[in-house]
Every structure is written in structure tokens, then in C-alpha cells.
Amino acid sequence: RICRMIANKKKLRAFYLTMLLFTAGVIGAGQLFAEALPGEVERLGRDLTPMGAERAGNEAGTIPEWTGGITQPPSAYRPGSHHPDPFAGESAQFSINAENMQDHRQFLSAGQVAMLTRYPDYRLAVYPSHRTAAYPERIYEKTMANAAHGKVTENGNAVSHVAEGIPFPLPASGVELMWNHQMRYKGSSSIRHINMMTPTTGGSYSTVTMTVTTRNLYSEPGATLDSIDNRLLMFTREIVTPPGMAGNVLLVYDSVNQVRQPRKVWMYNPGQRRVRRAPNVAYDSPSGGTDGMHVSDMTDMFNGAVDRYQWTLEGKRELYVPYNAYRVHSDEVSNAELVKPGHLNPDYLRYELHRVWVVEARLRSGQRHINPRRTYYIDEDSYQILMVDHYDSDDELWRYSEAHPINFYEVPTLWSSTEVHYDLKAGRYAAFRLDPSQPVPPFNTEMDAAGFTPQALRRRGVR
């Protein structure tokens, strides 16, 4: 009898332990995971790329094998230029419009279908696919090191045991993919001259130009989570034109764990000649100058805290996505040629077939956001979010976002050159594009932390 009692207690203890682990996996789906198995880690750099993408092409031959991406600038490139198109001689293979979109439906997102349905003159010009994403060897090495030990912690709001590279090259959850996007390599620093247009339904618009200077602390050589003290990056955004807005400067400190330490924001107003703390510019707070068509966490397709959503990994799909957008990046394309009523001019947009991770975001109970549901489409080669479907409180598609990336091959890194956020109900959009009239400053310029302080904003105002 005693032996049976001991055996039953052992079974009961094992049952409770199993249920505890199962419950943790269900309640924390996408948040609590063990370290990657050694056999999986060894696949990186072999049948998987160093970033964790499938190295092989697809069975149909319409997606090629990854062979390293573009790692050297073409001979025509000159520092400061808008990056000559390596595929300038290619023509579109075909176009997708409202009349033939059902023939291609399996390769289209809900947002693309909505755009094709709403605008008869809208089309997707589909070109041959090129897997151009590439990164420095340091980032590959750090990414592969992260694969063995990286973890999501604090209920999904933080990461641990990672440094410099992609934190989760073997993603097993939606929240890991969102961390990959936010912590992907965009150089240790960058300066970008950006213009913003929000056309009316008739197509008229004014342009706001700004300079965004960023120091990516996580991506700096030798950085660790301890050394950056929960600070992911710092950036300033200075308005250059129009004259009535010129001189307004925003300073932002972005945290890794923004629930524990929300981002800090300061603003300098030249009219008041003073620096003041701004409200937390995060989540669905409206972005200035966008007529309400853009909110804070839409910048860079997604940024900020991940705590308001439950992130579900839906798997991978082959989709026609914006890629190798050198034509729209060109300094030979004016804003007047690009900006049209309802949407950007499709003559300058390039789409290719690529594999993307699909992550479904649904608002958690007790949380609020103007978009209770979103679907993110994330490039497998770079973890750049390429497209987003945004839904309203009635679960109807409301907005559709696109990032048009290029390989900045002098770095190298793959990052968006143009972002556009379409409001399908209003028939308008907000577009952000690298300024074709300005040179492209070099990445990885050494930046002093003293330049990212409220005191520096005051000194800038005095000048």
C-alpha cells in the first residue's frame, strides 16, 4: 500500500508538472520558450542563411536561392548618391490589376486586394525576384551566437542573452519576429533626409522635409544589453521645411523594455525657445502633420512596446511584396511624378515574389488601440516588415501599409527607402520618402552621446 501511495504521488507530481508546463505554453504562447536545440542552431549558414531564412529557392523556381545578397556597391555608385539600380535593365514580367487579380489571389495580401479593388488605375508591376539582403560578417556572427541562448522574457516585453545581431534567427513565435524587426541591423548610426506628403483625394499636397539622426546603441560593436542599459536607440528629428514648422526638434530615447521604462521624448519649439518633455509618443498617439492617417507605432512599420497585442505566428507565405525599390529611391524621380490621387504612381513601384513570415496581432483583453487587429508580413531574409493590414473595431480592413526597401550596399543593410500608409476609407495616404534633392549621408558615422540630450537641443536653438 505504501509503495502504491508513493507511486501515485510521483504520478500526481508528474501530472502537475506537465500541466504547469502546458499551461505556461498556452497562456504565454509566443512568449515562453526554451533555448534553441543545438541541431537547429547548426543549420544557420548551411541550409538556412546566417539570418535564419531558407537558403534554397522555392520548388517553382520563382524564388531564387539566397547566395549572399549584394555585399559590394556597383561600380557606378558614389558615396552620397541615391544608389544606382542593379536591375535597371529589367522589365516587369506582368502586372496585376483589378481585372486579373483573382488569377494571382494566393500571392496577394488582403491590403493589396483592397487597393486593387478600390482604385481601377492601381496595379502591381511584378519583376524577377532577387534576394539582395546582406549584412556585415559581424552581424551574422552575433546573430548565430544569439540563436543558441536568446530568450523572450518579462511576459514578452523584453529579451535576454542577445547582443548586436538578430535576437531570434530561429523564430518560434510572433513576438520573437516582432523583436527581430525592431532589433534588426540598420547600421550603428544613420542620418536620413526624409520628406513627408499627405495628398488630398484630389492629389494636391505640401511637403514636410525633416532630418532624422539615429544612434542605434544595440547595433554598436561590442554592445551588450547590460552596456546599453535598456536603451535601444536615440534619435532626433528636425523639421527643415516648411518655414512655419522649421526648427522644431524631437529627441527620443527608445527602450528595449518599454513597459518597464517607457520611451522618453523632448521637444524644442523655436517660437518658445525652450525644451520641454513631451507626452509619451507611443502606441496610437497621432503623428503630427499626417491628418490622422498615421500613428506613432506605424513608424518604421512597427516600433515600440509589444505589450498591447497577442502576437500569433501564422507561418510563411509566398507573396508579391515591395522589394529592390531602387527606382522610387532614385534622385531622378520627383515628388510630383510619384504622388498621385489615392496612391503612389505604380510606374515607379517594384514588386517581387518572396517568402514572408505572417504574424497576426490581436489586442489583448483590457488594452486599447485604434487597430484591434493587424497582420504583419515580414521578409524572411531581413526581418523588415514589408506590408501591414490594419483593421478597425468592426474587424474591417481600414489601412494598408507598405515599406519599399533597397539594399544600402555600402553598409550593407536592407531598409526601407519609402514608406506609405494608405487609408482605404478616406481615400488618402501618408508617404515618407528619402529626399531625392539631398545626398544620402554615410551610415555608421561615430556620434557623441552628448548630441542626444535636452541640453543639446537648447544649444541648437541658440544657434
Q: What is the pLDDT of residues 53-67, one digit of tens each?
A: 999 999 999 999 999
Q: Do the Cβ atoms of 223 and 140 come closer than 8 Å?
A: no
Averaged pLDDT for residues 248-270: 93
> What pLDDT was estimated at residue 20?
34
Pairwise pLDDT comparison (404 vs 289), residue with the higher score: 404
Residue 16 has a pLDDT of 34
Q: Do strands 397-408 and 385-391 pair parallel, antiparallel, or not at all (unpaired)?
A: antiparallel
Whether residue 21 has pLDDT greater than 60: no
- Give the mean pLDDT of the chain: 91
pLDDT of residue 10 exceeding 80, the answer is no
Can you give the pLDDT at residue 403?
Answer: 98
Integer-rounded Cα radius of gyration of the chain: 23
pLDDT confidence of residue 273: 85
The reported pLDDT for the residue numbered 461 is: 58
Task: Give the pLDDT band of residue 288 (cuts 50, 70, 90).
Answer: confident
Give the strand pairing for 413-423 and 397-408.
antiparallel
Mean pLDDT of 191-219: 97
Answer whether residue 331 shows pLDDT above 80.
yes
Average pLDDT estimate for 354-366? 98
- Give the ranges where 193-236 is alpha helix by DSSP (H): 225-228
201 in helix, strand or coil? coil
pLDDT in tens, 87-129: 999 999 999 999 999 999 999 999 999 999 999 999 999 999 9
Task: Please tell me the predicted confidence (pLDDT) of residue 124.
Answer: 98
On the question of pLDDT at 1 being above 70, the answer is no
Between 29 and 159, name the one with better pLDDT. 159
Helix (H, G, I), strand (E, B) or coil at 128: coil
Residues 6+ apart with CB under 8 A from 373: 360, 361, 362, 363, 390, 391, 395
Q: How far is CA 180 from the centre of its chain?
A: 9
- Per-residue pLDDT of 40-56, as tens digits, reads 899 999 999 999 999 99
Q: Give the number of other Cβ atoms within 10 Å of residue 125's Cβ.
A: 18
